[in-house]
Chains A and B, each alone.
Chain A
Amino acid sequence: MIDRRAPGPRSRRKTRGALLGPAPVAVAVAVAVAVAVAVAVAALPAVADAPTGAPPIRAPLTSSVVDPAGRTWLVVPMGILSQATNTFWQLFVRPPAAGAGWTLVTPPGVADNGGLVATAGAGGLQVAVLPSQDLHFSPLASTADGGRSWSPGLVPAALDASPDALAVAGSGAVAVVDGGRLLLEESGRSGSWRRLRSAADLAPTGAAAECRPIAFSAAAAGPDGSVVVATACHRTGQAGLFELAASGSGAPTAIRVPVASGSRARTLRLVAGDGGVAALLALGGRRGDRLEVATLAAGRATVSASFRLDPGESLVASGSVPGGGIFVLLRGRRGAERLADERLGRWDSLPVPPRGTVAAAFSPGRIDAVTVHSSTLIDYTIDAGAAGWRRAQVVRVPIQYGSSG
């Protein structure tokens, strides 16, 4: 019997084999290398997105603020910082009395793994808890007695992860929510919030046309019950600062800040102080990345000298300086920190803070640098005129690991 099917395929295989024959090893190696390269490239981490031209520096929530009563408040993350659900943000307060230490006063009743935003006003301190996991709105807590007792409230939307997303303004508060798309206003202390303005509303107005706002990034109490807001701008050469009237009615007033043509600016902080509102600006352009502080008073903006950032340097913490001004704690590519503050248009560098400093606080007559090791906070202070930092206090925090899942 003749197998009529068998010869055909065999002869075709021979032909293919003859064509591939000379270099099967090379072909196999090339395929193997290509597959390995493809898998390795696919497994590389994605590069973080950043707007073109804008300096990549961002303002973290770690910050400090001095309230009108002279108390210094410090917001700092603790726990296992590499795990979102084991990172617990803490609030510390130190009374104005000389020699007083930090006390843990984190508001109870809600998990704060998403972060805390604190804002000081004449009535005391208001703290918002940022959303985390399945919580999508922001509980509030306010204290008028230095953190001994807290009153609950809420922002009925997701507060932005910006240290100035909440501001005490007039008798109520304003909040930047929903990724900067909306500005909400609380009328009085009623706990009832209303929509004040959206970034889209702002865009077509005359004052905003030059900026073409993208989203709100910060808010602060302005003069006469007004609100100063910062927005990210589509256009270069714009700082994106506006003043909204107390009632929210009327067109916003653009606050003109001289920014070098072609530079892209981002407002990192808006801090209300005795001398007006101070805006910490990050600028990028031909002159490299730098920081400047614009002080807004009486409808005018005065801009400080520039503070040049080293390549790859990031902002670790920031806060207000008593008497007006802003300080910044920066970390370089190699992990070394530096601390500087701006007052009256001038930047001053302080002695290098202890290795691993994650936060700082400027109080009347005192500067603190803080390191955190899981549940332990170590406070260092520097005496006036001294060249070095000395260890002042150790606080152990009873963190409830695993309580957030």
Chain B
Amino acid sequence: MGSGTDATGSSVVAAFHHTLWRQFLVVVLLVVAVGVLRAVLRARQLRALSAGDGRPALGPPPPTGTGAPAVRLLRVGFGLFWILDGILQGQSAMPLGLPLRVMQPATTGTPGWVQHLVHFAVTTWLGHPVTAAAAVVWIQVGIGLALLAAPPGGWSRAAGAASVGWGLVVWVFGEAFGGVMAPGASWLFGAPGAALLCAVAGVLIALPARTWEGPTAGRWLLRGAGALFLGLAVLQAWPGRGFWQGGRRGGVVVMVRSMAQTHQPAPLADLVRAFGTLAAGHGWGVNLGAVTAMAAVGVGLVAGAGRVHEPRPAIATAAAVAATVLCLADWVLVQDLGFFGGVGTDPNSMPVLALLVATGWTALRHPATATARAATVPAAGTPTSRRSPASVLNAPPAYLLRAAAALAAFAVVLLGAVPMAVATASPSVSPALTEAVNGPPAAEDVPAPGFHLLDQAGRPVSLATFRGRVVALAFLDPVCTNDCPIIAQELRMADAALGATARRVAVVAVATNPIYHSPAVVRAFDRQEGLTGLANWYFLSGPLPRLRQAWRAYGVTAADEPAGAMVAHSELAAVIDPRGRLRVILGTNPGAAAGAGRASFSSLLDQELHRFVGRP
């Protein structure tokens, strides 16, 4: 019955763009503020230096330097990754498409508790789709900027910690644990999830600088990556999971074909399709190749890391190159680069994994030296507590600029996070979702058509019965299996939100089924939906000719459908003011977000009812 939710609903997209532009202006102001702050600090620094008495009063200088090469690689790589993620989150389809076309489908086949967890996130998102989508943009851009700009030391580690926290949020709620809880989890398709790998990278960035002295960190990183490849190779080789099967139903083929359907440049689509054809024809061979390559890379990384005193640089280099090639091959041939199609949220897991392997190799081959660390941390015996905030004036100009930029980057994170936190804490829900499905409410100002029907107790009721009250009038099929029970709950929520004013409102539904419309059936519906105790609830029924008259008067159609289908009827509601004038027509189709977004219509209806309650 429902037409479904249009992920590119124009009203939502317009609101999303408007919000992004507004917040972008704030970001521009932040950039200007950074420049001003840096100029002010530099001026004070110069004054202090010219006075010749600044340094002792300001305490020791803050840590400077460039940090370990591996950490630099991580910060630049993952900084750019988060910024790209943030930009992708700015695509028009994100406010509705991300929860409905990415988050919800990601739970397919996962345990119930995972579905509940993600459902909670989807519901929260759909309550405020514009704010949520904009929040994700700025949080990710902010973290990326912080990683790129922060000077080594505490600033950099704070950016790493932010990456851990946000990576885990995305992994749990956005990726449903990266697919590892689903039966078809496979490295080829992105398990264990790009966001988890970003969180791992964040942990590495947040580690103390001394961790990166010597090759130990590199060894363990390569061993970890090797173990991951080996474990995923075992998972890929596990019998009964469909990966050894070719043909149209083969696990690899099904996924590759679904990837190929994503809108993308033709040469890329041709590559993915070609690989799908190969997997369909030689499913067993393709899987054997994948398993062998993953296992070989895993063994190579673990062996290359070597024992504690015996690194094997040649093996490590070869394995790191092989891992990178394998990741890139999978990225192009199976994951289709990951970010086309309007709701691609990131470039998928392969570049991220390759970057982690490269980081391990760099840490093994080019470890940080104690000299380098000395430049990034205070000297031993110099407790950080002795550094006053004003000690920043002792820092070189470049440090000042980076510290101010990092501060601004964290402000960008807050620019996204604070409005979302405020919206989530608020009891009201945005009507954006229902407007995306049904369009905005249509304003009217004509006498409302009358009707003469029976209420659920069998008493005669007409429009005049409700004179002096605002009427929310809906059309519900009492034996409908999906939309109407949801609409009834929305009506109930709207009524509850009215509070004491509910006594000046009548919530009225007209039975909209040419066959099942007796008082007994509407009473059964009331019991089912918990509406029996609602004082201002009226579910009207009556003889079919009178019902048809009421349907016609409000432009509602209801038709029997053959072969076990439910009655097809228009889904609309009307708001009638206390003088009996029809003021607003609203669509009530819950759309594809039926389960998750049921508060949106009630919020819109509540707004409309409040406009007329109390009018003469």
Give me the interface of A with B, judged by CB distance under 8 Å.
Answer: 1-6, 9-10, 13-14, 17-18, 20-22, 24-25, 28-29, 31-33, 35-37, 39-40, 42-45, 78, 88-90, 104, 106, 108-114, 116, 129, 132-137, 139, 150, 152, 154, 156, 191-192, 397-400, 403-405
Contact = CB atoms under 8 A, between A and B. Distances in A.
B518 A152 contact: yes
A180 to B, nearest CB: 20
A398 B563 contact: yes
A111 to B, nearest CB: 4
A373 B369 CA distance: 72
B116 interface: no
B482 interface: yes
Interface stretch (B125-133, B230-238, B356-364): B230-238
B171 to A, nearest CB: 15
Given A31-B231, A33-B231, 16 more contacts: A6-B370, A36-B235, A39-B235, A40-B241, A88-B563, A108-B562, A109-B513, A109-B515, A109-B567, A110-B481, A113-B481, A137-B528, A139-B516, A152-B516, A405-B1, A405-B481
A113 B516 CA distance: 17
Nearest to B224: A28
B380 A5 contact: yes
B560 interface: yes
Interface of B: 1-2, 180-183, 185, 210, 214, 216, 223, 226-232, 234-235, 238, 241, 298-299, 302-303, 305, 307-309, 370, 379-381, 479-483, 485-486, 513-516, 518, 520-521, 524, 527-528, 560-568, 594
B226 A28 contact: yes
Pick from A44, A135, A152, A156 the residue with the most CB of B within 10 Å. A135
B208 to A, nearest CB: 9
Nearest to A405: B482
A109 B560 contact: yes
A262 B485 CA distance: 47
Contacts of A134: 480-482, 485-486
A108 B560 contact: yes
A37 B234 CA distance: 8
A43 B303 CA distance: 30
Pick from A2, A39, A88, A150 the residue with the most CB of B within 10 Å. A39
Nearest to A37: B234
A106 B567 CA distance: 13
Given A90-B563, A400-B562, A25 B515 contact: no
A28 B485 contact: no
Contacts of B299: 25
A301 B216 CA distance: 82
Nearest to A25: B302
Contacts of B229: 32
A110 B561 contact: no
A25 B564 CA distance: 61
A104 B515 contact: no
Nearest to A191: B520
A215 to B, nearest CB: 22
B435 to A, nearest CB: 21
B565 A403 contact: yes
Contacts of A31: 227, 231
Pick from B180, B307, B309, B486 the residue with the most CB of A within 10 Å. B307
Given A2-B380, A43-B183, A154 B521 contact: yes
Given A33-B234, A403-B1, A45 B183 contact: yes
9 contacts: A2-B380, A13-B216, A14-B308, A25-B302, A39-B180, A90-B564, A108-B562, A133-B482, A191-B520
A32 B515 contact: no
Pick from A4, A78, A152, A397 the residue with the most CB of B within 10 Å. A152
Nearest to A17: B308
Contacts of A129: 479
A89 B564 contact: yes
